Amino acid sequence: MIYIHATGIHNTIPTSGQPDLRAELKAMGADNRRSDHFMRLAVIGAHKAADGHELPAETAVYMTSGQGNTAVFNRICSALRIEKNLPKPVDFINLLSNSTGFYIASHLGLAGRNIFLTHHHFPVQMTLLTAQNDITQGLQQTILAGGVDEWQTRPQLARKLMGIEETTVLGEGSNWLLLSPERENALAVLEVEKRCINEEELTLRLRAESKHHDITIAFAPKITKSQAARFMNQYPSFKRHNYEAACAYYETLAFYALNSFIAAHKKGRLLHIDCGTNGYMLMTVEIIP
Amino acid sequence: MVSIIGGALLSALGNPPRRIEALRHGRAEPGTLETMIGRDRVSYPYYRLDHKPRPIDPAVINGYLDEVMEKLGRKLALNPAELGNCGIFLGSSAIDYYQAAVLEQAVMNDSTADIENQRAGGGCYAERLARRIGCDGPCLTYNTACTSSANALIDAAAMLAGGIIDHALIFGLEITSAMTLQGFIALQLLSRSRVRPFDIKRDGMILGEAVSVVLLSRTEIRPSTWHYLSGGSLSETYTVTGANPDGSGIAMVMAAALKDAGLTPHELTAIKAHGTASEAMDSAELRGMKRVFERLPPYFSLKPYIGHTLGGCGVAELVLTMECIEAGFIPPTMNFNQLEPEFRQPPLQQARAVKSGRFMLNYFGFGGNNTSFIIEKTP
Amino acid sequence: MTIGSADESLKRRLKEMIIRECEKDNFAPAEVPDDVVLFSDECALGLDSLDALQIAVALQNQFSVRIPDSKSFRRHVTTINALADFIQPE
């Protein structure tokens, strides 16, 4: 069990191209030099979570992404293959995923652990599980954990790579949580299930949850509409966190689902349900009133 | 406690008996790798693990991962499917290009025709391994440049200690790609001759390939004479290309690993240095060690044997270090001749008999990412 | 052709390239002096070693100038005039 002290939400539905974030980043006092859109997104989201908090220098940054910085990959690829040029040094460095973490740490003055990790189905849950374990083990005292996904400049290709329907609207986001083992002044308690569970275990869990008051459920995009409707019918006391209304698809949406719930509620408990090939993955957030 | 059960490695040094001989006597030579820069064909020294063609194709990468896993299974007489609650942790600095192999094809052909709902993402290699091996624990992929698989190992150990998993397979992966080679050419970090770690005449690194795996288990479940004691993982923001030249960031992460293990500097038997032979990074590393150790224990670099295997070196160099100690020695640093006047204690120049002790393994990378972990071998 | 340091149009292109590649957008080409050592404290651009690498690759890609290593780069790329002369010796 770990505590959420702040949320940072940056969530948009671009209509034509990636929005220019330079002015916003500059207003935060950060340097745009050598950064690209993906990095700016990351710094803006992390800044929002850190804003108003005095972060200790040893604060760790645990970052994840579904598709990563695809724009810089495309740039290098075309330099190499089409123009037959050497990659630009700054592009090559930015291609290493953890360079983004470097710019977050530079902007916020951090010198703690700085990692970039991914997971095929559950990038958000696995990042938070890692953070939860490191805090519980006493290995970290403060962690900024976040997910960053940029709007894909080749949406048709991106939908195929992400395995989603051709009509799905794509969005972008950078959503962060400030985590610590301290209860004092915390907004909410976070608990990430340590492993995937099967259908039967999920039913047992939902039955147990339905005994609580004020339960809200958030469904990840991979839970089908009919499946979600079935759950809601089975447990009429559950409310639904309809975060989908305010965002479009990206692979780290689970962070947005949690963050938007915390930002909009003064009390209550959120159960976030996602699924992959091995079963269901659960996270709960309980607001501290 | 966390046991280290054993590891396997594919690298330019060949099979275990061959590589033990090479490491004992300080003998290894890089091959070459050619690439096109504009209309010029250029050749750089390079440590390849074999001479098969190397298209950036997921099937090629999966093939090497399966091969190294089979080697581990044979060596430990292990049926990985029996591991049950086992996590997969994979570290690679190039995972973005491997995952984007499909994307690259599409960019080149300007078509999406050949992609049939083939979900791509950085985590797909670890996911496939988990399915193939039959593990049901978490399967995470790390990209923190040259510390990728070292960071993967540190998290695996934390999850074992936290009881989330009973076993962990940690993979280090680095396979030739034109993009990596060209990127390092653009950064002017490559030597055209030899890797000379810590030597006054060093002129850069030589890249190499390595695919490696190591099995860690909770000691209650599987005891071993090898243990993981502690790990430090920190970052510094002096420059995106590496460490602060004064060695302060490097000293901090080594001190963190020592503190976490409850050890004083003189309790270490030896240090596996990062030692890339990069002009700036080797000085920073020497200065960092000077800050922590009044008198340095013997230290060595493995880069002259297999090259700089980038994100793969965390696990690859752990496997080599363990193999040497099991064979009763720590290896010399090849190609070393003379230190810069500011430093006093040279790296090990002749193999030294060592059978047990506590060993620190250091890795530093782009983005100011520094890691250090300590392992122990009991007699 | 004239010697590089006397070729104003070449020097302007070099200055534009440096500003673009090093993302020093708050500088105009005219503000980059011809005879101040670029990688020194006297130069207001404030360039570092990564900028030097970025310029080296741009010289190769855009001006077809091969600069093999950082030592020869430091030798040739001292000032805008020196760089222009190196690219266009006569």
- Mean pLDDT for A231-242 is 94
A198 exposure class (CB count in 10 Å sphere: 0-12, 13-18, 19+):
exposed
A208 exposure class (CB count in 10 Å sphere: 0-12, 13-18, 19+):
exposed
Nearest CB partner across the interface for A34, out of C23, C58, C60 = C23
Shortest CA gap B279–chain C (Å): 11
pLDDT tens for each residue of C31-54: 999 999 998 888 889 899 899 999
Given a cut of 80, whether residue C69 has pLDDT beyond it is no
**Strands B40-46 vs A269-276: parallel, antiparallel or unpaired:** unpaired
Please tell me the CATH superfamily of domain A2-188, with its number. Thiolase/Chalcone synthase (3.40.47.10)
Domain count, chain C: 1
B contact set with C (CB within 8 A): 37-38, 186-188, 239-241
CA distance B72 to B74: 5
In A109-252, alpha helices (H): 123-136, 155-162, 199-209, 225-234
Q: How many cross-chain Cβ pairs, B to C, lie less than 8 Å apart?
A: 17
CA distances from C37 to A159, C75, C76 (A): 50, 11, 11
Q: Which of residues 85-114 of A touch C (CB under 8 A)?
A: 85-90, 93
| Any A CB within 8 A of B144 CB | yes
Shortest CA gap B182–chain A (Å): 6
Contact in structure between B212 and B8 (CB atoms under 8 Å): yes
- DSSP letter for A212, please: S
**C68 interaction partners in chain A (CB closer than 8 Å):** none
Q: Terminus-to-terminus CA distance in chain A, angstroms?
A: 17
CA C15 to chain centre: 6
- Interface contact flag, B38 C60, Cβ < 8 Å: yes
CATH number where B255 lies: 3.40.47.10
How many other CB atoms are found less than 10 A from the CB of residue B372?
30
- Interface contact flag, C53 B239, Cβ < 8 Å: no
**A113 interaction partners in chain B (CB closer than 8 Å):** 233-235
Q: Which amino acid is at B263?
A: L
CATH number where C68 lies: 1.10.1200.10
**A129 interaction partners in chain B (CB closer than 8 Å):** 138, 164
Q: How many cross-chain Cβ pairs, A to B, lie less than 8 Å apart?
A: 207
Residue span of the structural domain in which B203 resides: 2-377
Residue in chain C nearest B190 by alpha carbon: C69
Average pLDDT of chain C, as a whole number: 89
The residues, ordered by sequence, that sit 6+ positions from B124 with a Cβ below 8 Å of its Cβ are A120, B58, B99
What is the per-residue DSSP string for A227-251? HHHHHHHH-TT-EE--GGGG--B-T
The residues, ordered by sequence, that sit 6+ positions from A224 with a Cβ below 8 Å of its Cβ are none
**B186 interaction partners in chain C (CB closer than 8 Å):** 53, 56-57
- DSSP letter for B267, please: G
The confidence score (pLDDT) of residue B122 equals 74
**C24 interaction partners in chain A (CB closer than 8 Å):** 33
What are residue B272's DSSP bridge partners? Answer: B300, B361
C contact set with A (CB within 8 A): 21, 23-24, 50, 53-54, 57-58, 60-61
Torsion of CA C76, C82, C83, C89, to 10 degrees: -100
| Chain region(s) in chain A for CATH 3.40.47.10 | 2-188, 190-287
**A88 interaction partners in chain B (CB closer than 8 Å):** 186
Residue in chain A nearest B91 by alpha carbon: A117
The confidence score (pLDDT) of residue B115 equals 38
Domain count, chain B: 1
Given a cut of 80, whether residue C70 has pLDDT beyond it is no
- Interface contact flag, A99 B366, Cβ < 8 Å: yes
ipTM: 0.95
Q: Terminus-to-terminus CA distance in chain B, angstroms?
A: 17
Positive or negative, the CA dihedral B169, B175, B180, B181 is positive
Closest CA to B342 of B298, B272, B283: B283
Structure tokens at A122: 């559950």
The confidence score (pLDDT) of residue B97 equals 66
Residue span of the structural domain in which C46 resides: 4-25+34-87
**C49 interaction partners in chain B (CB closer than 8 Å):** 239, 241
CA distance B363 to B290: 16
The residues, ordered by sequence, that sit 6+ positions from B329 with a Cβ below 8 Å of its Cβ are B23, B24, B351, B352, B353, B354
| Any C CB within 8 A of A163 CB | no
Residue A106 pLDDT class (50, 70, 90 cuts): very high
Positive or negative, the CA dihedral A154, A155, A159, A160 is negative
Nearest CB partner across the interface for A86, out of C24, C50, C57 = C57
Contact in structure between B153 and B214 (CB atoms under 8 Å): yes
Q: What are phi and psi of B212, to 5 degrees?
A: -140, 160
- For B107, half-sphere exposure in the C-beta direction (CA atoms, 13 angstrom radius) is 21
Structure tokens at A252: 């780290």
CA distance B332 to B352: 8
Query: pLDDT digit of tens for each residue in chain B (379 aa)?
Result: 999 999 999 999 999 999 999 999 999 999 999 998 878 899 999 999 999 988 767 788 889 999 999 999 999 998 887 888 999 999 999 876 666 665 656 555 554 434 333 556 678 889 889 989 988 889 999 999 999 999 999 999 999 999 999 999 999 999 988 889 999 999 999 999 999 999 999 999 999 999 999 999 999 999 999 999 999 999 999 999 999 999 999 999 999 999 999 999 999 999 999 999 999 999 999 999 999 999 999 999 999 999 999 999 999 999 999 999 999 999 999 999 999 999 999 999 999 999 999 999 999 999 999 999 999 999 9
Nearest CB partner across the interface for A111, out of B179, B187, B234 = B234
The confidence score (pLDDT) of residue B96 equals 67
Q: What are phi and psi of B319, to 5 degrees?
A: -60, -45
Q: In this complex, which chains have at least 3 CB pairs below 8 Å with chain A?
A: B, C
**A77 interaction partners in chain B (CB closer than 8 Å):** 100, 104, 107-108, 179
The confidence score (pLDDT) of residue B108 equals 53
Shortest CA gap A143–chain B (Å): 13
Quickly name the fold that domain A190-287 has: Peroxisomal Thiolase; Chain A, domain 1 (3.40.47)
Residue in chain B nearest A92 by alpha carbon: B183
**Strands A60-64 vs A269-276: parallel, antiparallel or unpaired:** unpaired
How many other CB atoms are found less than 10 A from the CB of residue B112?
18
Q: Terminus-to-terminus CA distance in chain C, angstroms?
A: 6
Matching residue, tokens 């340590």:
A194
